[in-house]
Amino acid sequence: MNPRKYAITFACYNQVEYTKMCVESMIKHGLDLSRLVVVDNASTDSTRTYLESLPLGGHIFNKSNLGCGTAWNQGALALQAEWTVIMNNDVIVTENWIENLIETAEKNNLKIISPSLIEGPINNNSSADNPLDYDLDEFSQQSHVKMHDALRVGGHHAVCLAVHESVWLEVGYFQPIPKLLGFEDTIFFNELAKANIAGAMTGAAWLHHFGSITQSAMKQERGLSEKDGLGYRYNYRLLKQSWLTRKLNKIKKTRQKKQWLENELKEYAMTMHGTRVKGDFAWQ
């Protein structure tokens, strides 16, 4: 695939070790770093020094933490392409992940697409070269063969999201409001639904996600527990939905996830979303 067909961006705030693992996995699988723009939201660790050492397509250093929405917009606008991949920095990518994402989207006439995920923390008994307790590359190859035609229509997520350029023109970019603190994706997905823009999650591409590392760190900074919400408690009002509509939507999503789980387990003996628990996969 011509690298100019896509651009990639992620935001970061401290957690430089996770950023390094993400970038190194991209390099390992042949990504041209000139297609990557990284936006740093005023990190106080060695993130800036590390990013300046890389031949990126762009690096943007904000003077304060402007939130994910603003940073994602900055990255998407700094390097524009037919497809823009918005993603987290706390992930490890796999072979042909971006090609598989985009090719699946085009094959199925989708404008939004996300990869399948395995989630879980760093294994403290593993080496620095392999922080996982399983072979991600071998797993992703086998899973691609098994599930490459599987789709969860409507199941896209903000851990990694490939967005076609037509979407920006139709619904706009992310809400650039710092206090949203993670609610930006919910608002964006709501706008996609209102515009009837097709999106999905695919079994053709896989990532490992360590699990909202930056948000967890920001909660610690603010003295919050993991169960506490990071954003403003009334952010949901921005959706302009009644309590009943939100309730019904939540029930619908829960039922849909259950149906995906049952169907995928029956057909593939696995699903597109797993968590590492005590050396095994818990499917969801």
Residue 62 lies inside a defined structural domain of this protein: yes
* CA distances to 9, 103, 215 from 231, in Å: 22, 35, 10
- C-alpha to C-alpha distance for 83 and 141, rounded to whole angstroms: 24
State the residue range of the domain holding 75: 3-234
The pLDDT score that the predictor gives to residue 278 is 87
Model pLDDT, residue 229: 60
**pLDDT tens digits, residue range 7-45?**
999 999 999 999 999 999 999 999 999 999 999 999 999
Query: What's the distance, CA 128 to chain centroid?
Result: 23
The percentage of the chain sitting over the pLDDT mark of 70, rounded to a whole number, equals 89
Tally the domains of the chain. Answer: 1
Alpha carbon distances (Å) from 100 to 13, 71, 93: 28, 25, 12
* Digit-coded pLDDT (tens) for 113-155: 999 999 998 665 554 566 899 999 999 999 999 999 999 999 9
Question: pLDDT band at residue 252, thresholds of 50, 70 and 90?
Answer: confident
Q: Could you read off the pLDDT of 21-30 as tens digits, one per residue?
A: 999 999 999 9
Would 262 be classed as within a structural domain? no
What HEC string does 84-97 produce? EEEECCCEECCCCH
Contact 180, 93 (CB under 8 A): no
Say if 156 falls within a structural domain. Answer: yes
Please indicate whether residue 85 or residue 223 has the higher confidence score (pLDDT).
Answer: 85
Flag whether 38 is in a domain.
yes
Position 237 scores a pLDDT of: 73
User: Is residue 213 assigned to a domain?
Assistant: yes
The answer for residues whose C-beta is within 8 angstroms of residue 35's C-beta and 6 or more apart is 3, 4, 6, 7, 8, 57, 79, 81
Q: What is the pTM of this model?
A: 0.90
pLDDT at 201 over 90: yes
The CATH number of residue 40's host domain is 3.90.550.10
Is residue 83 domain-resident?
yes
pLDDT at 223: 59
Q: Across residues 173-188, what is the average pLDDT?
A: 86
Report yes or no on 175 lying in a domain: yes
- Domain-embedded: residue 94: yes
pLDDT over threshold 60, residue 225 = no
Q: How many residues does the chain have?
A: 284
Q: What is the mean pLDDT of the chain?
A: 90
Calculate mean pLDDT across residues 89-102.
Answer: 96
